[in-house]
Amino acid sequence: MIYRKFKALDKEISLLGMGVMRLPMDEQGRVNNQECIDLIRHAVDKGINYIDTAFTYHDGMSERIVGMALKDGYREKVIVADKMPMWLCRSEEDLDRYFEKQIKRLDMDYIDMYLLHNIIPPNWKKVMKYNALEWLQKKKDEGLIKHIGFSFHGDYKLFKEVIGAFPWEFCQIQLNYIDRDEQATLKGLEYARQKGIDVIVMEPLKGGRLTDNVPPSVQKIWNKAADEGVVSKDRSPAEWAFKWVCAQPGVSLVLSGMNSIEQIDNNTAIFSKEDIHVLSEDEQSIIDEVTAEYKDKIRYGCTGCGYCIPCPQKLDIPGIIDYINVWYAYNKNPSTKFEYTKWMASHASDCIACGQCEEKCPQTLKIIDIMKDAAKEFGE
């Protein structure tokens, strides 16, 4: 495992961090505690020493499981990150209320890295309205938080404003080769680097969309690179994506939401390569080619973060968006329509256009229009 020095910490941190937002679930959507505890401990045993959770992941089960997994001597081995759900706050008192719940769920005396979660314009307004910056400082002075940061899904202009508003020690941004010009952007990464702020990258694989069901035309480009000897034959789409992120100056840590032992083993092997941060000009131009191919195919840039649910009509919004993206990416293959009809409990045509989901989407997707599109293409 490659480790990097964080400016804020006196400890070296694994370049790969474990995000605990996509735990394995059974058919009823429940997590198996022991399986998840074993998974987190396996990650720590493989050298990962940064664990990232949040109030809303798995309805609070993520924090509880992190707490349970880090018993028996594991707590001392890792840095724990947790986040304040700004969009749920309705008053200044809510900050304390949610924080107390988090400490209780984690069963810990303090949280190492604490972030204001999902900074986008409406949440940033709440930060100001409820004096969350002063609150953070107070919690740090009391020793309940060790380091202060924020996670971000707004645009570059807001990113600069947020950076300038507080002496942040770190921040977390979404970055992958497809989204390099979206949200904080590569320019934002450079801005944070110049300001001396550690940057944690989330969604390096775009929620698995750069690695699962790779379209044949994209795979062809990856294969060509191997056939021409630019890279070795065993370079996976995940390694391409991780390598691109690690090669960007200013990246201190890359989070991956791993949900199987196999994923942890594959990813820790990739992050143990000494040249993980090196990207040749040839490799960059292959990634550019793949980016162009994907941009052509992925109609709706959903990351699968799940902030938009629950929906009053019980629509699995990210699931439907996945189907409609696959529909277009694979040239309207009838099996996609068949699976959508058969497997989805509710369909896009059930959308009542209430707009609740759009208010919460960090990618500012026009979800109502997407549901209309899906209903038209799939017929329900």
Binding site for ligand SF4 (CB under 6 A): 302-308, 311-313, 315, 317-318, 321, 351-357, 360-361, 363, 365, 367-368, 371
Half-sphere exposure of 111 (CA within 13 A, CB side): 30
Pick between residue 191 and residue 307 the one whose CB is nearest to ligand SF4: 307
Q: For residues 111 and 122, what is the distance between their CA atoms, to the nearest angstrom?
A: 26
Q: Assess contact for 129 and 149: CB atoms under 8 A.
A: no
Shortest spacing between CB 365 and ligand SF4, in angstroms: 5
Q: For residues 176 and 323, what is the distance between their CA atoms, to the nearest angstrom?
A: 22
User: Among all chains, which residue has been given the structure tokens 């937002």?
Assistant: 21
Q: For residues 366 and 359, what is the distance between their CA atoms, to the nearest angstrom?
A: 10
Pick between residue 21 and residue 148 the one whose CB is nearest to ligand SF4: 21
Shortest spacing between CB 301 and ligand SF4, in angstroms: 7
Shortest spacing between CB 377 and ligand SF4, in angstroms: 16
User: Among all chains, which residue has been given the structure tokens 């629950």?
Assistant: 310
Element (H, E) at 82: strand 79-84
Shortest spacing between CB 213 and ligand SF4, in angstroms: 17
Shortest spacing between CB 351 and ligand SF4, in angstroms: 3
Residues 6+ apart with CB under 8 A from 192: 159, 163, 171, 173, 184, 199, 250
Pick between residue 47 and residue 304 the one whose CB is nearest to ligand SF4: 304
> Two tokens at 168?
């942040």
**Core vs surface per residue 149-169: b (16+ CB within 10 A) or e:** bbbbbbbbebbbebbeebebb
Pick between residue 7 and residue 376 the one whose CB is nearest to ligand SF4: 376
Shortest spacing between CB 373 and ligand SF4, in angstroms: 12
Pick between residue 46 and residue 209 the one whose CB is nearest to ligand SF4: 209
Query: Rounded to 5 degrees, what are φ and ψ at 301?
Result: -80, 60
Q: Assess contact for 292 and 342: CB atoms under 8 A.
A: no
Pick between residue 123 and residue 303 the one whose CB is nearest to ligand SF4: 303
Please calculate the CA angle 219-222-224 and round it to the nearest 5 degrees: 110
Shortest spacing between CB 242 and ligand SF4, in angstroms: 21
Shortest spacing between CB 320 and ligand SF4, in angstroms: 8
Which residues partner with 203 through β-bridges? Answer: none
Pick between residue 62 and residue 313 the one whose CB is nearest to ligand SF4: 313
Query: Rounded to 5 degrees, what are φ and ψ at 12?
Result: -80, 140
Residues 6+ apart with CB under 8 A from 129: none
Which residues partner with 115 through β-bridges? Answer: 83, 149
Pick between residue 80 and residue 210 the one whose CB is nearest to ligand SF4: 210
Pick between residue 116 and residue 351 the one whose CB is nearest to ligand SF4: 351
CA 288 remoteness from chain centre: 22
Shortest spacing between CB 310 and ligand SF4, in angstroms: 8
